[in-house]
Amino acid sequence: MVELRGQVRSFLAEELDRFPGRPDIINGFDAAFSREVGRRGWIGASWPETLGGRGWSAESRFVILEEMLAAGAPVLAHMVGERQFGPLLLRYGTDEQRRRFLPRIASGEAFFCIGMSEAAAGSDLSALETRASPVTGGYRLSGAKLWTSLAHLADYAVVLCRTSEHANPREGLTQLVVNLRSSGVVVAPIHNIVGEHEFNQVFFDDVLVPEGDVVGTVGEGWRQALSELTSERGGPDRYLSNFPLLARITEQLRLDPDPRASETIGRLVAHLSALRSLTEDVAVALAAGREPSLEAAIVKASGAAFEQDLLESLRPLMPPGEDRRALLAEATLRGPSYSIRGGTREVLLSLIGDRVLRA
């Protein structure tokens, strides 16, 4: 593992400058970077070799991702495919779907986005209104998804939609892989608070989705989506968004020690270490086919708190006139989104509390 970590680190030290992403505080979307990482076998490294992976351990995949995030590498192009769609297919997909999608995700050639939230369905996801009706050869999909990150750059969306009506709204949902170049798909931009085109509203107008692009079992979408959310919530991307800022300020403080700083840095590192240890356990549990949804919710809730605390804590330690102030300002504007994306803080804390009280 030490050798792999060293290889990833030297690749990033030597090559990262070639990719014009946004290092420091966000992980940019860079298809060329993802292809380069894929060429080295570092996307989906824990997947079987027959499906484009390397057959390596969950820890190896964790080490690669951790190094990439810590360096602020532009990993977003392959992030969703590797983090949650690949694992979803390994768990619920058909052999044909695995052969069709996984090697292209692993080589950095097929990019995915998450089609869950809608205007009237965020925390209350089962209230979603996007519907698909069976037709000859597949389904016709109509509706709209909201806050779909990077849909304008992705090739496919994994869409949670309603395929039948039930008294319990969590029944009758189905997951479809939708090719975003299909006729009837319109991707409309939404700019975030820093003015960047990050989100979209994605409209589906009678889009034909072939039968072979239904993921798993029709009507079982709720259970499958919860499993997908465990992969989405429990990884190091939930607390390393601003790690490069911490690393740089720590470097500066080493050169010019500030007695106010030790306790702050100590507190942040203690929190980071606990998150890291829990996240490694989540990675191992997921790879073993278990579903550590409670642990993943803890990583997500606690990771968001860490990310927000980091920004507030580093602010007074920032040397005056330092150009990192602009980055800190931007990170601060993004800060509130950490406890909304992937499930809000309130919803995750309720979920954790419920699980504990029902145990």
Ligand X SMILES: Cc1cc2nc3c(=O)[nH]c(=O)nc-3n(C[C@H](O)[C@H](O)[C@H](O)COP(=O)(O)OP(=O)(O)OC[C@H]3O[C@@H](n4cnc5c(N)ncnc54)[C@H](O)[C@@H]3O)c2cc1C
Token pair of 147, please? 């806050």
26 versus 327: smaller Cβ distance to ligand X: 26
Token pair of 218, please? 């029709």
By the rule CB under 6 A, 113 interacts with ligand X:
yes
By the rule CB under 6 A, 350 interacts with ligand X:
yes
By the rule CB under 6 A, 347 interacts with ligand X:
yes
* DSSP β-ladder status, 112-115 and 156-162: parallel
Report yes or no: 175 and 215 within 8 Å, Cβ to Cβ: yes
* DSSP β-ladder status, 156-162 and 173-179: antiparallel
Report yes or no: 62 and 236 within 8 Å, Cβ to Cβ: yes
Which string of DSSP letters, residue by residue, matches 262-300? HHHHHHHHHHHHHHHHHHHHHHHHHHTT---HHHHHHHH
Say how many CA atoms lie within 13 Å of 149 toward its Cβ. 13
| Amino acid, single-letter form, for residue 115 | G
By the rule CB under 6 A, 123 interacts with ligand X:
yes
Residues belonging to the chain: 359
Among 107, 117, 227, 242, binds ligand X (CB under 6 A): 117
Count of residues in contact with ligand X, rule CB under 6 A: 18
Query: In angstroms, what is the minimal distance from the CB of 117 to ligand X?
Result: 3
45 versus 157: smaller Cβ distance to ligand X: 157
Query: In angstroms, what is the minimal distance from the CB of 119 to ligand X?
Result: 8
By the rule CB under 6 A, 28 interacts with ligand X:
no
Euclidean distance between CA atoms 84 and 67, whole angstroms: 19
By the rule CB under 6 A, 337 interacts with ligand X:
yes
Query: In angstroms, what is the minimal distance from the CB of 202 to ligand X?
Result: 9
Task: Say which of 66, 198, 232, 295 is annotated catalytic.
Answer: 232
117 versus 279: smaller Cβ distance to ligand X: 117
Residue 135 DSSP SS3: strand
Q: Which residues contact 296 (CB under 8 A, 6 or more apart)?
A: 229, 230, 231, 232, 233, 234, 282
Known active-site residue 322: no
Stretch that binds ligand X, among 54-62, 113-121, 224-232, 237-245 (CB under 6 A): 113-121
In the block, residue with structure tokens 């996307």: 43
Helices 2-15/58-70 angle, 10° precision: 30
By the rule CB under 6 A, 303 interacts with ligand X:
no
56 versus 147: smaller Cβ distance to ligand X: 147
Among 116, 154, 285, 327, binds ligand X (CB under 6 A): 116
124 versus 312: smaller Cβ distance to ligand X: 124
**Terminus-to-terminus CA distance in the chain, angstroms?**
36
Query: In angstroms, what is the minimal distance from the CB of 348 to ligand X?
Result: 9
235 versus 343: smaller Cβ distance to ligand X: 343
By the rule CB under 6 A, 41 interacts with ligand X:
no
Query: In angstroms, what is the minimal distance from the CB of 61 to ligand X?
Result: 21
By the rule CB under 6 A, 26 interacts with ligand X:
no
Query: Which residues here bind ligand X, judged by CB under 6 A?
Result: 113-117, 122-123, 147-149, 337, 340-341, 343-344, 346-347, 350
User: So which residues are the catalytic ones?
Assistant: 232
